[in-house]
Structure 1
């Protein structure tokens, strides 16, 4: 009888430990999902920033060409 009680006690401890590990695993999975969403958000922001940079570079080149054109026109007048 004593042996049965010991086995039951060990079984309860193992079940408790299993439940605790399952809870920890669920928490880690949830944290990983949050991390994945944050990473995706950062990737999207990076892509947006790179697209904006490209647009700004094109605008800068257009402005440089306009300034050069204006300077040439001024030189022709002067």
Structure 2
């Protein structure tokens, strides 16, 4: 494991410990992270790697906000002219 990977693993562990004190689970954090990354337009394969999912089929973990959906429809409309 490289230095930056150890640092990130340590930060993740600290975040997990803090969240447990608030009644959250690792799954809660993973679910939230997956949703936020998708909303920011991060490519699905990148989200998969960051959140350690085994496949890109993460639909049940993501909840896309109404604003993101409206923005997507507007972009499609702009492409269509």
TM-score range, shorter chain: under 0.3
**TM, length-normalised to structure 2:** 0.26
**Highest RCO, 1 vs 2 (Cα 8 Å, sep ≥ 6):** 2
For the pair shown, the structure with the greater C-alpha radius of gyration is 1
Structure having the larger proportion of residues in helix: 1
